[in-house]
Structure 1
Amino acid sequence: MPYSRHRTRSRQPGTNGAAARSGPTAPGASGTASALILLTGVYTAVSPWWVDFTRSDPYLTVSDLLAGVAVTLLACGMPLAAGYARRLSWAAAPIGLWLLLSPAVVAASHGVSSGILWSNGCAGGVTYLLALIAIRSAPGAAR
């Protein structure tokens, strides 16, 4: 067999000779979940002023503001640091649980309005469920 100066590469159909790229090519469920977590975090941060419980419960206002900013920052980091997306999702899940429980913990000495309960309950439940979806669909998750 004669020595060929130029080696021929076997090409796979449809690849056009390009090497297969690793990593997600489309956002998928993880990208969608992180985008929805971002929106939920922004809502949580501004909900004390939308639902108008800044005067009636200032401690819960601070709690929601801090939790909302934390969830928003975590959601911003998920697509930027794809290798750590699963860990960031694990950090968002307890914040969602905190949002569910915070009206009972922070405002234990006095009653809270139904608007506060609905706002925190929905935001906390959505954050928790979306964090579980992001954990399951993050790169490197066990399938």
Structure 2
Amino acid sequence: MQQICNFIPEKCIIVAHNAVFDRTTFLQAYKFYKTQDRHFGFTDDLRELIFLDSISIFKERLKKKNINTDNTKLGILYENLFHKPIENQHTAKADVVAMIDIMNKLFNRKQSHEYHLRKHVQAKTNLKGSLIAFKNSKILSDKEVVSTLPNYMFK
């Protein structure tokens, strides 16, 4: 946990497929380690993280391409787009690589992933449920989340 927290900058946007799961898992681990060792190197305002759910982003892009969005499981999306299963699915590395492959397929490659994520946030399309943030170990409301977003996301 300490390695993860040392790796993550103070303010960070994490893109995850089904971000609710990742957010919940991270918060549980953070709170557990915080109670286990008060000298673990954490502070109460350790991190301000925003988990941006790729499901809503992918759904939006798939609809624009007239591709069925009934099943948004990462493996199903990958198979529908690449006609093969994810190798070593459900391992962190394989799932991240698959998500990047999907982003490469769905987004205009002349623009960066950050550009497309920023456009998604700027449009405020399906933000409810896709933006999840915590600060000081407290989950923020939707309104607080939007106010927490870095200014560059709206330029």
Scaled by the length of structure 2, what TM-score is found? 0.28
Q: Which has a greater percent of helix? A: 1
Scaled by the length of structure 1, what TM-score is found? 0.30
